[in-house]
Amino acid sequence: MTDAHPAGPEQRPGLAPLIPPTLQAPGSPPARRVLIVGGGYVGLYTALTLQKALRSELKRGQVQITVVDPRSYMTYQPFLPETAAGSLEARQVVVSLRRELKHCAVIDGRLVGLDHTGKRARIEPGVGSAYDLGYDVVVVAPGSIAKTLPIPGLAAVGIGFKQVEEAIGLRNHILNRLDAAASTADPQVRARALTFVFIGGGYAGIEAFAELEDMARYATRYYPNVAADDMHWLLVEAGGRILGEVSAPMATYTLDELRGRGMDVRLSTRLDSCVDGNVELSDGTSLSSDTVVWTAGVKPNPVLESTDLPLDSLHRIPCTADLRVRGVPDAWSAGDCAAVPDLTKGDGSPDSPTCAPNAQHAVRQARLLGRNIAHSLQGRPTKDYRHKYAGSVASLGLYKGVAEVYGVKLKGFPAWFMHRTYHLSRMPTTNRKVRILSEWTVALLFRRDVVSIGEIEMPTRDFRAAAGPVDRAADRTRRDTTPRNTTPRNTAHDRRRAQARSSSAILDQTGADVTDTAGPGGRPTPAEERSSREEGLPAKTTRDSEQEVYAGDAPDAPTFGDTAEPVAPADEAVSRG
Ligand SMILES: Cc1cc2nc3c(=O)[nH]c(=O)nc-3n(C[C@H](O)[C@H](O)[C@H](O)COP(=O)(O)OP(=O)(O)OC[C@H]3O[C@@H](n4cnc5c(N)ncnc54)[C@H](O)[C@@H]3O)c2cc1C
């Protein structure tokens, strides 16, 4: 495999331009439309690189870049454990796509299908019906989702740890469980509230487990009747060791450090069941817990199955070393959803080893991906991706950590400091870097923040109560007689108007050849579900439909899923559609 490739056949004339023709010089060829699916690590960095590399082409209207993501922000996931522990504010670990990608069109929606042969992507926007979007070149980077198993009870009680909403929700939930334990006279309710179970001992699981225990241990000083030793922090790992990313001695050090803090880490143990929070483990242990956090790895985003792109046996997109989709012109991929050959371990052939799904590869691949696409559009040669894995850094709580970088092993404070320094340097945008640094600096002067604002997940509760009693019987009747795919205040007429507004907004913004083909009977959108919850109509999750609880009726021991409204970052520049 050589390092350089001839430019690929990218031109596909005849498709409608994505920007209004007025921006193009008369008689110039139609603009090349680059569609980026996913605005995470790969999507954001690819778009940033393309913006820079194709500055003059963008100015002349020869190229247009569109980024599609259901979230309008990129999440810096390695900071989620610190966010959950309260060391960082949620909005500091996300980056607004619109603010950073000034020369790109950003669509708040999700890809639901891709016909690459016809060069059309099916987009489901946050509000309104799905439509088709034409493109010339596509970057497929929807990342990964939690790799779950069909364990009884998991879907109902399990808590994920991949999004900023989950990190904040988990923090509020854990502090709320301390409140519940401190306020009950029932020893069983108390024990259940103070038992925290984590499944999976990779870096995400270990960091979340260690950071949250550290935060909860600190918080117990404000609860006279809850001692740190009253809590049971349990992590189960199916394999024979934790932290597969670091060497065995460092993993053993981490294990000893956690066990030394009184944390219960069980290796070669699986979760067998957690129905209603009754946790059963493969070693015969049974216990009750309100908190079951699933951090047992990731799998490629299943939306890839709805594309006509090739997939390998692990359901990833097979790529060549220059990040093109193998054997498919005009399609590129990288990050967690892509099988990119690791040239430090093989020759780049289809069956050679591939890069692990982590941020270290995702960021580097994305920068090269942006340059390679720019070069291919400019008729210049592309380059291969080659990066030797540098190692791992993990935080285990305030001032505690473990790191192994280029063979150098660090423990305790130096490792924790390296973790912070490394991730600060990797955090996108100077704006965010400065804000995070100031937050850390200010935190040195004050005590740790242990406030739980779980009520932020129910912003309309007090107003509903003040506005008068809810006619629950009428509401229930209304819900029972309301078809699954509509909401009472969102009539077909309203939805058609919203669709029209939404489609024209996209056309105004991008000039894309958008085809709206869905009928009025589509399923409720996330926005409709949010609006439904705002009205006091709980979202139709399994839990809600089982329990039919109103926010104000919260039972003694509410579980994580009972307050379904996710927390949106409060930054004025970051909004959820
Ligand atoms: C808690 C946690 C801690 C981590 N810590 C580390 C660490 O310390 N070091 C490290 O190297 N790695 C770490 N990682 C892994 C790292 O974050 C990922 O490898 C990296 O985010 C992968 O980048 P990506 O662009 O492929 O996917 P992502 O960053 O996940 O981006 C995917 C994007 O696609 C969007 N999307 C999803 N579905 C669709 C759709 N249908 N249509 C359009 N858009 C869609 C998503 O909203 C998201 O914005 C951590 C991960 C987690 C969860």
Calculate how far, in angstroms, residue 455's C-alpha sits from the geometric centre of ligand 1: 28
What percent helix, strand, coil does the chain show, rounded to 5? 40, 20, 40
Closest atom, ligand 1, to C-alpha of 358 = 19
Per-residue pLDDT, 27: 64
Calculate how far, in angstroms, residue 368's C-alpha sits from the geometric centre of ligand 1: 18
> Is the alpha carbon torsion for 514, 515, 519, 524 positive or negative?
negative
Closest atom, ligand 1, to C-alpha of 334 = 26
Calculate how far, in angstroms, residue 58's C-alpha sits from the geometric centre of ligand 1: 28
Beta-bridge partners for 68 = 37, 107
Output the residue whose Cα is nearest ligand 1's atom 11.
359
Q: Which CATH class is domain 16-145+300-377?
A: alpha beta
Closest atom, ligand 1, to C-alpha of 81 = 1
Counting other chains too, the contacts that 216-219 makes at CB distance below 8 Å and 24 or more residues apart are 216/174, 216/175, 216/178, 217/261, 218/398, 218/448, 218/450, 219/175, 219/178, 219/450
Q: Mutation test of ligand 1: which of 45, 68, 75, 77 has the most ligand atoms closer than 8 Å to its C-beta?
A: 77
List, in sequence order, every beta strand (DSSP E) within 334-390: 338-339, 382-383
pLDDT digits (tens, 9 = 90+) for 49-74: 999 999 999 999 999 999 999 999 99
Quick one: three-class SS letters along 498-558? Answer: HHHHHHHHHHHHHCCCEEECCCCCCCCCHHHHHHHHHCCCCCCCHHHHHHCCCHHHCCCCC
Per-residue pLDDT, 475: 61
Q: Mutation test of ligand 1: which of 336, 369, 418, 423 has the most ligand atoms closer than 8 Å to its C-beta?
A: 336
| For helices 412-426 and 430-445, angle between their N-to-C axes, nearest 10 degrees | 150
Per-residue pLDDT, 447: 76
**Closest by CA position to 277, among listed 525, 59, 475, 555:** 555
Calculate how far, in angstroms, residue 495's C-alpha sits from the geometric centre of ligand 1: 32
**Closest by CA position to 206, among listed 228, 181, 178, 239:** 239
The 10 Å Cβ neighbour count of residue 228 is 16
Rounded CA-CA distance 544/217 in Å is: 32
Closest atom, ligand 1, to C-alpha of 366 = 25
**Which residue do the tokens 């999507």 mark?**
43
Amino acid at 533: R
Calculate how far, in angstroms, residue 365's C-alpha sits from the geometric centre of ligand 1: 13
Q: Mutation test of ligand 1: which of 203, 337, 387, 525 has the most ligand atoms closer than 8 Å to its C-beta?
A: 203
Domain range 154-294+391-426, its CATH number among 3.40.50.1820, 3.40.1160.10, 3.50.50.100, 3.30.830.10: 3.50.50.100
Per-residue pLDDT, 189: 97
Per-residue pLDDT, 479: 56
Calculate how far, in angstroms, residue 78's C-alpha sits from the geometric centre of ligand 1: 9
Calculate how far, in angstroms, residue 75's C-alpha sits from the geometric centre of ligand 1: 7
Calculate how far, in angstroms, residue 252's C-alpha sits from the geometric centre of ligand 1: 27
Residue 359 host element (H or E): helix 359-377
> Is the alpha carbon torsion for 247, 252, 258, 264 positive or negative?
positive
Closest atom, ligand 1, to C-alpha of 298 = 53
Contacts of 221 (CB under 8 A, 6+ apart): none
Per-residue pLDDT, 512: 42
Q: Mutation test of ligand 1: which of 358, 393, 574 has the most ligand atoms closer than 8 Å to its C-beta?
A: 358
Output the residue whose Cα is nearest ligand 1's atom 36.
142
List, in sequence order, every beta strand (DSSP E) within 169-322: 195-199, 232-236, 264-266, 271-273, 278-281, 286-288, 291-294, 298-300, 317-318
Quick one: three-class SS letters along 104-151? Answer: CEEEEEEEEEEECCCCEEEEEECCCCCEEEECCEEEECCCEEECCCCC
Rounded CA-CA distance 1/136 in Å is: 27
Q: Which residues of the chain have pLDDT under 70?
A: 1-29, 454-456, 470-577
Closest atom, ligand 1, to C-alpha of 423 = 8
Residue 76 to residues 93, 202, 328, 420, 448: CA-CA distances in angstroms? 5, 17, 30, 13, 22
Contacts of 485 (CB under 8 A, 6+ apart): 521, 522, 523, 524
pLDDT digits (tens, 9 = 90+) for 91-116: 999 999 999 999 999 999 999 999 99
CB 116, CB 309: distance < 8 Å: yes
Rounded CA-CA distance 46/30 in Å is: 22
Per-residue pLDDT, 23: 43
Output the residue whose Cα is nearest ligand 1's atom 10.
359
Calculate how far, in angstroms, residue 143's C-alpha sits from the geometric centre of ligand 1: 5
DSSP assignment, residue 87? Answer: S
Query: Which residues form ligand 1's pocket by a CB distance below 6 Å?
Result: 37-43, 68-71, 77-78, 80, 110-111, 141-143, 161-162, 203-204, 301, 303, 335-337, 357-360, 362
Rounded CA-CA distance 577/39 in Å is: 14
Rounded CA-CA distance 530/132 in Å is: 25
Closest atom, ligand 1, to C-alpha of 335 = 26
Rounded CA-CA distance 441/539 in Å is: 40
Closest atom, ligand 1, to C-alpha of 123 = 42
Closest atom, ligand 1, to C-alpha of 338 = 26
Question: What pTM value is reported for the model?
Answer: 0.79
Calculate how far, in angstroms, residue 336's C-alpha sits from the geometric centre of ligand 1: 7
**What is the strand order of the sheet 278-281 is part of?**
271-273, 278-281, 286-288
Residue 409 host element (H or E): strand 408-411
Calculate how far, in angstroms, residue 284's C-alpha sits from the geometric centre of ligand 1: 35
